Amino acid sequence: MSEIKFAYWVPNVSGGLVTSTIDQRTDWGYDYNRELAVLAENNGFDYALSQVRYMASYGAEYQHESTSFSLALLLATERLKVIAAVHPGLWHPGVLAKLGATADHLSHGRFAVNVVSGWFKGEFTALGEPWLEHDERYRRSEEFIRALRGIWTEDGFSLGGDFYRIRDFSLKPKPVRGPDRPHPEIFQGGNSTAARRMAGRVSDWYFSNGKDFDGVVEQLRDVHASAASEGRSVRFGLNGFLIARDTEAEARETLREIVARAHRPSVEGFRDAVTQAGKSTSDGKGMWADSSFEDLVQYNDGFRTQLIGTPEQVAERIVRYKALGVDLMLLGFLHYHEEVEYFGRRVLPLVRELEASSPARESVSV
Ligand SMILES: Cc1cc2nc3c(=O)[nH]c(=O)nc-3n(C[C@H](O)[C@H](O)[C@H](O)COP(=O)(O)O)c2cc1C
């Protein structure tokens, strides 16, 4: 069975990955990020995931644009695949497909996209674009992905959709093709029922917010069942904020301090925005449906995955997630440079050792 893969959140917005006044030795600028990307590919990371944000919200006062920043990181590295986050609704899929094909050639086939349906109404309003109701956002995202895949793989592609229209369009050049890679990989964010169905129908990868073991199993069942009914399979990526320290007490103390020093007005503001964004999901399964204040201090519920402790404890948990069916861990850190290096030196070798000695995957029935 293949090894579990690792991605990291690109800190391309200011303020780090936690909404806290704790000291974070992480910088959102390019020089820091270029060094980080090289460090990451030398410390076992397969992917980097950029964030898309057009204006300040829960903090994140400054933001670098995701596709251009991702391309810069691709050009600064040799093996790292970089996933650029994009909002349907703010991009035409044909324009993104064109950008993606060029980025893919410039990077010898390492470009990928994360299609995010959006939670931040203020951003769309400020840019003068309509803010669709929750499930409509997913209908649009699905059409966007169908268009992207069609343009990347077919000549004379046409689509007469509700959101996009494409007529007899042939993209030249197409992106780089490999034996197991018909086009750049398509990831998606979102955990609601609409998100799960969309993953089953069209996405290559499904990203989950931070979750404990039960939370992961519940989603895996649903997403795999949804994909199986379409005769497809979808790979599963899980977010986690990783705090590995030489002792468990140090790691726990770091978490305690992050939460104790949370920037309360920003966390509460974020909660209001995401509650509003998920309101139209009737079954309450949206990504932040049951997040506590502490969870939201890492805005993708990263503490819930509990990758907090010694390298041994963290490695054991990662391998347990893998056994449940997780294919990729998406990680965030407090002090990126130091901690990515610590991860590669102290945690990753233990993960690989444990994987080699426990190859079986627990079956999650669908
Ligand atoms: C791994 C991951 C990355 C995401 N990145 C972004 C992002 O960069 N920008 C953004 O506006 N939303 C991002 N989102 C949030 C989605 O746009 C969406 O609002 C969220 O997943 C809630 O969807 P749901 O209500 O369907 O669960 C991300 C979600 C996940 C899981």
Name the closest-CA residue to atom 20, ligand 1: 190
Nearest atom (ligand 1) to Cα of 209: 31
Instruction: Tell me what pLDDT residue 169 has.
Output: 98
H/E stretch holding 317: helix 311-324
Residue 121 · residue 89 · CB < 8 Å: no
In terms of pLDDT, which residue wins out, 89 or 286?
Answer: 89
Structure confidence by residue, pLDDT tens digits, 313-342 = 999 999 999 999 999 999 999 999 999 999
Instruction: Tell me what pLDDT residue 272 has.
Output: 85
Residue 349 above 90 pLDDT? yes
Structure confidence by residue, pLDDT tens digits, 282-299 = 677 788 888 999 999 998
Residue 77 · residue 38 · CB < 8 Å: yes
Range 28-35 average pLDDT: 98
Range 110-125 average pLDDT: 96
Residue 248 above 50 pLDDT? yes
Instruction: Tell me what pLDDT residue 275 has.
Output: 80
Instruction: Tell me what pLDDT residue 365 has.
Output: 47
User: pLDDT over 90 for what percent of the chain?
Assistant: 88
Structure confidence at residue 172 as a pLDDT band (50, 70, 90): very high
| Rounded Cα distance, 306 and 208, in Å | 14
Structure confidence by residue, pLDDT tens digits, 152-167 = 999 999 999 999 999 9
Please tell me if the CB atom of residue 192 comes closer than 6 angstroms to any atom of ligand 1. yes
Instruction: Tell me what pLDDT residue 72 has.
Output: 98
**Given ligand 1 and candidates 65, 70, 119, which is best to mutate, with the most ligand atoms within 8 Å of its CB?**
119
Residue 37 amino acid letter: A
Please tell me if the CB atom of residue 57 comes closer than 6 angstroms to any atom of ligand 1. no
Range 74-94 average pLDDT: 98
CB-based burial, 274-310: b 16+ in 10 Å, e otherwise? beebbeebeeebbbbeebeeebbbbbbbbbbbbbbbb
5-357: which CATH number, 3.40.50.300, 3.20.20.30, 3.40.630.10, 2.102.10.10?
A: 3.20.20.30
Range 77-90 average pLDDT: 98
Nearest atom (ligand 1) to Cα of 50: 8
Q: What is the pTM of this model?
A: 0.96
Residue 366 above 50 pLDDT? no
Residue 261 amino acid letter: R
Name the closest-CA residue to atom 10, ligand 1: 118
Please tell me if the CB atom of residue 287 comes closer than 6 angstroms to any atom of ligand 1. yes
Residue with tokens 């726990």: 252
Neighbouring residues of 174: CB distance < 8 A, sequence distance ≥ 6:
101, 152, 153, 183
Average pLDDT for the chain? 95
Please tell me if the CB atom of residue 219 comes closer than 6 angstroms to any atom of ligand 1. no
Please tell me if the CB atom of residue 117 comes closer than 6 angstroms to any atom of ligand 1. yes
Residue 91 amino acid letter: W
| Rounded Cα distance, 115 and 103, in Å | 17
Nearest atom (ligand 1) to Cα of 118: 17
Residue 38 above 80 pLDDT? yes
Range 17-30 average pLDDT: 96
Residue 253 above 70 pLDDT? yes
Please tell me if the CB atom of residue 309 comes closer than 6 angstroms to any atom of ligand 1. no
Name the closest-CA residue to atom 9, ligand 1: 52
Instruction: Tell me what pLDDT residue 289 has.
Output: 86
Residue 175 above 90 pLDDT? yes
Instruction: Tell me what pLDDT residue 276 has.
Output: 74
Structure confidence at residue 213 as a pLDDT band (50, 70, 90): very high
Q: Give DSSP secondary structure letters for 210-274.
A: S--HHHHHHHHHHHHHHHHTTT---EEEEEEE-EE-SSHHHHHHHHHHHHHTB-HHHHHHHHHHH
Name the closest-CA residue to atom 21, ligand 1: 190
Structure confidence at residue 359 as a pLDDT band (50, 70, 90): low
CA of 333 to the centre of ligand 1 (A): 18
Residue 56 · residue 356 · CB < 8 Å: no
Please tell me if the CB atom of residue 239 comes closer than 6 angstroms to any atom of ligand 1. yes
Structure confidence by residue, pLDDT tens digits, 59-74 = 899 999 999 999 999 9
Q: Give DSSP secondary structure letters for 147-187.
A: HHHHHHH-SSEEEE-SS-EEEEE--SSPPP-BTTBSSS-EE
Structure confidence by residue, pLDDT tens digits, 120-143 = 999 999 999 999 999 999 999 999
